[in-house]
């Protein structure tokens, strides 16, 4: 029997084809705002577990003594209370005793749990930094879609989680078996030990075993962190179409922006051509460039450019100059230098003073100006 299946069922979602492009800065920022980051829960859990057992190892002697003293007080107090109540079971007194026991145990263990929780928070902060968002808590109808659920069920993430679970169970089983096997003689003598010694030995056994498991767990967590980083980067990759769409959203549609630039350029040219009749001379090369120069001692200390253009615009400048009886002087090097280095409205640079002055002197001589 041959089973048929549709590979598209396992395809990643996203418009525009295959995700081949690296994520942009905006894509990474938007993804983080949605609460999606490259983070390994295993790193956090392993760090917290290791911190918990290390703290227990540093203080299990005093903790064991405190628990032993508490147990003795409770154990010795119960018969006294029963006798005091003439054989009737003292529920109220026992309620007080057990509440006291819970409070005392809380005082002993809460600092250790608090430090372990702090280590977990620091580990999370190192991985993703400070992040506050409520978007992951918002309900999504897509999560109710059975097709999406099937995709998640057979996804690579699910397979990886299954593999990690098997690894953790196998690892814990092996470490516990090996450790107990190496200490089985001491374990079988527990019933002969005094209460205090038995509690201390049991505590040491559990703590050492916990540290061993935590250290091996950190190795699994490190591998998982590398996997999560790579998976996150692959998940937020973009299609070529998504990159184009994002560029349009940020920079605007290139077609519209091109039209806007053309309109702005045309408006600038109209203003330039309107001022052109005020020019003293138009310097050309003679076919490609045309630069209109004006000298007004009341405005500037040096001549300045009021219009310039290349090719078709240069021809228009020369036509307007002819219509307004403005002298046109051919000077190829000077025309190219002015066009390339001086913008409209700027004065001529000092290194070109001499050349421009000679052209103006020639024009003024033709017009009979002094």
* Domain assignment of residue 230, given as a range: 37-235
| Angle subtended at Cα 156 by Cα 245 and Cα 233, rounded to the nearest 5 degrees | 40
The DSSP line for 141-164 is: GGGG-HHHHHHHHTSHHHHHHHHH
Say which CATH number the domain at 287 has: 3.40.1690.10
A 10 A CB-CB count for 217 gives 23
Last residue of one domain, picked from the residues 186, 209, 235: 235
- Reported pTM: 0.47
Alpha carbon distance 305, 318 (integer Å): 15
On whether both 45 and 178 belong to a single domain, the answer is: yes
Task: Using the structure block, give the residue that is written with the tokens 């070109």.
Answer: 352
pLDDT band at 8, cuts 50/70/90?
A: very low
271 in any annotated domain:
no
Question: Is the pLDDT at 10 greater than 50, yes or no?
Answer: no
Contact 336, 285 (CB under 8 A): yes
On whether both 74 and 222 belong to a single domain, the answer is: yes
Worst-scoring range by mean pLDDT, 75-79, 164-168, 243-247, 303-307? 75-79
On whether both 212 and 75 belong to a single domain, the answer is: yes
- pLDDT at residue 86 in the model: 55
On whether both 197 and 48 belong to a single domain, the answer is: yes
Question: Is the pLDDT at 197 greater than 80, yes or no?
Answer: no
The DSSP letter of residue 311 is: T
Range of 45-59, 96-110, 236-250, 340-354 with top mean pLDDT: 340-354
As a whole number, mean pLDDT of residues 184-206 equals 77
Give, rounded to a whole angstrom, the gap between the first and last alpha carbons of the chain.
106
On whether both 108 and 225 belong to a single domain, the answer is: yes
Calculated CA dihedral for residues 346, 352, 357, 359, nearest 10 degrees: -100
Q: How far is CA 70 from CA 61, 140, 368, in A?
A: 14, 51, 118
54 in any annotated domain:
yes
326 in any annotated domain:
yes
On whether both 322 and 223 belong to a single domain, the answer is: no
- pLDDT at residue 291 in the model: 92
As a whole number, mean pLDDT of residues 309-327 equals 89
> Strand, coil or helix: what is 329?
strand
pLDDT in tens, 334-365: 989 998 888 888 899 889 889 888 888 888 88
- pLDDT at residue 232 in the model: 81
- pLDDT at residue 139 in the model: 61
pLDDT in tens, 32-91: 777 677 778 888 888 888 888 888 788 766 776 777 777 776 666 665 555 555 555 566
Residue % of the chain over a pLDDT of 90: 2
Mean of pLDDT over the chain: 77
On whether both 105 and 48 belong to a single domain, the answer is: yes
On whether both 208 and 306 belong to a single domain, the answer is: no
- pLDDT at residue 292 in the model: 92
């Amino acid at each position: 029997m041959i089973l048929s299946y549709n590979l598209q069922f396992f395809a990643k979602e996203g418009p525009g084809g295959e995700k081949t492009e690296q994520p942009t800065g905006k894509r990474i920022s938007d993804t983080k705002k949605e609460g999606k980051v490259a983070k390994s829960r295993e790193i956090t859990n392993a760090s917290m577990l290791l911190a918990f057992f290390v703290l227990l190892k540093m203080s299990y002697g005093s903790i064991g003594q405190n628990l032993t003293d508490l147990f003795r007080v409770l154990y010795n107090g119960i018969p006294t209370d029963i006798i005091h109540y003439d054989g009737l079971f003292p529920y109220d007194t026992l309620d007080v005793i057990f509440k006291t026991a819970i409070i005392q145990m809380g005082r002993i263990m809460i600092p250790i749990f608090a430090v372990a929780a702090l280590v977990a928070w620091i580990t999370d902060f190192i991985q993703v930094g400070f992040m506050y968002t409520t978007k992951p808590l918002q309900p999504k109808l897509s999560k109710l879609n059975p097709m999406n659920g099937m995709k998640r069920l057979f996804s690579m993430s699910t397979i990886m989680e299954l593999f990690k679970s098997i690894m953790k169970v196998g690892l814990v089983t092996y470490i516990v078996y090996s450790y107990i096997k190496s200490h089985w003689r001491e374990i079988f003598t527990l019933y002969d030990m005094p209460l205090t010694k038995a509690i201390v030995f049991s505590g040491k056994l559990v703590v050492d075993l916990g540290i061993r498991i935590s250290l091996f767990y950190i190795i699994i967590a490190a591998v998982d962190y590398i996997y999560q980083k790579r998976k996150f980067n692959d998940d937020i990759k973009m299609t070529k179409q998504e990159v184009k769409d994002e560029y349009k959203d940020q920079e605007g549609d290139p077609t519209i922006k091109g039209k806007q630039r053309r309109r702005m350029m045309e408006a600038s040219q109209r203003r330039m051509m309107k001022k052109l009749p005020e020019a003293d001379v138009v310097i050309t090369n003679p076919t490609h460039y045309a630069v209109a120069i004006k000298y007004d001692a009341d405005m500037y200390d040096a001549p300045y450019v009021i219009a310039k253009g290349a090719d078709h615009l240069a021809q228009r400048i020369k036509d307007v100059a002819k219509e307004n009886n403005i002298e046109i002087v051919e000077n190829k090097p000077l025309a190219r230098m002015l066009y390339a280095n001086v913008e409209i409205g700027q004065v001529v640079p000092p290194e070109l003073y001499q050349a421009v002055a000679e052209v103006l002197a020639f024009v003024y001589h033709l017009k009979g100006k002094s």
